Amino acid sequence: LALQHRMKGQTQGPTGNQTLRSHPLYLRKRLSQRPTTEELEQRNILKQKNEAEEQEAKQEIKRRLTRKLSVRPTVAELVARRILRFNEYVEVTDAKDYDRRADKPWTRLTPADKAAIRKELNEFKSREMEVHEDSKQFTRFHRP
C-alpha cells in the first residue's frame, strides 16, 4: 500500500515494464509458488515449532534404530545361511616394509629426453598415423 501511495502518479512498477495494476498480481503469483510450511519442515529448512516436538521426533528415530539393531542376525545365523564364511586355515607371512608409492619416471626426464619423445611423436604423426586427407591440416605437432 505504501508503494502504491508513493507511486500514484507513475505508470510503471519497480521493474520498469509492469504497470502498477499488475504488480500486486505478480506478487500474489510469486507468493503462491512458495513452498508450504510443512514442505519446508520436511526438507529441514524450517525448524519444527517447539522443542518438545523435535525431541519426540529424535526419540522416535532412536527407538526405531534400536529396534532394527536388535533384530539383526547373529554371526551363527549368517554362517548357517551361508552368507558369512570363515576359512579354517589362515596363512600369515612376513612382508618387507617398503615405500609403496608409485614410481614416477616422467619426473626424471631430462630436456633432451623430452625433445626426443616429441621428435618421435611428430615423426609417427607425419609418417605412420592414418589421417583423412581433409583432416591433415588439423593434426597438431609438438615443438621440436
Distance (Å, whole) CA 13 – CA 3: 9
Q: How confident is the model at residue 24 (pLDDT cuts 50, 70, 90)?
A: confident
The three-state secondary structure class of 125 is helix
Hey, what's the cell of 92? 600369515
- Examine the pLDDT at 17 and tell me if it is beyond 60: no
Q: How confident is the model at residue 5 (pLDDT cuts 50, 70, 90)?
A: very low
- Examine the pLDDT at 28 and tell me if it is beyond 50: yes
Distance (Å, whole) CA 56 – CA 53: 5
| Structure confidence at residue 1 (pLDDT) | 46
Q: How confident is the model at residue 65 (pLDDT cuts 50, 70, 90)?
A: very high
pLDDT digits over 105-119, tens only? 989 999 999 999 999
Dihedral sign, Cα of residue 12, residue 16, residue 20, residue 22: positive
Residue predicted with more confidence, 141 or 15: 141
**Average pLDDT of the segment spanning 77-99:** 90
- Examine the pLDDT at 120 and tell me if it is beyond 90: yes
Q: Rounded to whole angstroms, what are the CA distances from 104 to 44, 100, 101, 110, 121?
A: 48, 12, 9, 14, 21
Give this prediction's pTM: 0.31
Q: Which residue has the cell 608409485?
A: 102
| Structure confidence at residue 14 (pLDDT) | 52
Distance (Å, whole) CA 78 – CA 75: 5
| Structure confidence at residue 60 (pLDDT) | 94
